Structure 1
Amino acid sequence: MKNIIEELFYGNIDTQARGFKKDSYLQKQIMIMSNSEEILTERLKGDDKKTFLSFVNASGIVLGESELDSFIVGFRLGARFIYDTFVDNITPYDDFLKEVNNEG
């Protein structure tokens, strides 16, 4: 495997390339949302339709920003785990075996 940073740079890593499992609960809920939006968009007129579409668009923006925030926070948490695993060696107890191995 190539360097992960290089893979990311060239667009070979796509975290969005995912789909729903067929007939899953989530897929059914998304279909309900989609069908409801379509029905309401067809039935509503004038200001009601404009208000509903503004709500739908704003909801999409809020959801997108929330997903971005979760991604950033999760990425940073993962980086902290990596740092603590490979760089930071602070622990509540001293490692006596390490001292013995270094002396001998």
Structure 2
Amino acid sequence: MRTTLEDLYYGNITPNEQQMTPDSELEKAVARVTKYENQLMEQLEEIDQETLTKLIRSQHEINSITATENFILGFRLGVRIMAECMDDNDGDIRTGG
């Protein structure tokens, strides 16, 4: 536990920064998106490229917000599960509660 707390204090825990596993489904999907984005950019006029870039940036922002919210919700659920596990008076018939 102390190691985790020290890592958190010193900024060594960064759940939003993860390396993609080589040849994973995620890496393959990212490669496809990049390929199609580049193909589309080549076909568009400059003004349309700017619009596409804005769309992509906006989608990245949505993805970031969603990832943050999902992390928080998952963390809260984990804490609730831990709290419930620690409750000695939870009605378990084996303990007489």
What SS is found at the alignment partner of 1:14?
Answer: coil
How many angstroms apart in 1 are the aligned matches of 2:80 and 2:43? 51
Which one is further off, 46-55 or 83-92? 83-92
Q: Give the TM-score, by structure 2 length.
A: 0.79
How many angstroms apart in 1 are the aligned matches of 2:26 and 2:63? 16
How many angstroms apart in 2 are the aligned matches of 1:63 and 1:13? 20
1:22 CA drift (Å): 2.2
**Residue 80 of structure 1: aligned partner:** 80
- Matching of residue 4 in structure 1 with residue 13 in structure 2: no
Q: Which runs of 5+ in 2 are unaligned?
A: none
- Matching of residue 50 in structure 1 with residue 50 in structure 2: yes
**Residue 38 of structure 2: aligned partner:** 38
How many angstroms apart in 2 are the aligned matches of 1:38 and 1:14? 30
- Aligned-partner residue type, residue 27 of structure 1: E
Matched-pair identity in %: 28
Deviation sequence 1:38-81 (CA, Å, 0-9, x none): 23234322331121111100000000000001000000001101
What SS is found at the alignment partner of 1:22?
Answer: coil
For the aligned residue pairs, the C-alpha RMSD in angstroms reads 2.4
Total equivalences in the alignment: 97
1:92 CA drift (Å): 5.4
